[in-house]
Amino acid sequence: MYIKDPNPWNDDLTEKDMPVLFNIEHDPSEKYNVKSQHSDVVDRIVTLSEEHIKKVTKVPSQYDTILPEYQSAYDSYKKK
């Protein structure tokens, strides 16, 4: 199941299609959305994901900081 668009650069699925549910065992290429046949499963997974998101502590991205061991190289490059 995808709750958010797994590939925003591809127009096959959009946010308005979400969530989508696939039976990977029978449809490994994820071509056939079966959410209408399994709305109970979709509802349960959505509820579980929302509960999980509420419990997770959001931390700042590590991509926005320089690791201490690379700080001096970054500083010298930035001066150029």
What pTM did the predictor assign? 0.64
pLDDT bucket at 4, cuts 50 / 70 / 90:
confident
Nearest-angstrom CA–CA distance, 70 and 20: 42
Quote the tokens at residue 54: 């509420």
By the 10 Å C-beta count (0-12 exposed, 13-18 middle, 19+ buried), 78 is classed as exposed
- Do 42 and 21 meet the contact criterion of CB atoms below 8 Å apart? yes
- Per-residue pLDDT tens digits for 7-46: 878 878 888 889 999 999 999 999 999 999 999 999 999 9
Number of alpha carbons in the 13 Å side-chain half-sphere of residue 24: 2
- Do 73 and 53 meet the contact criterion of CB atoms below 8 Å apart? no
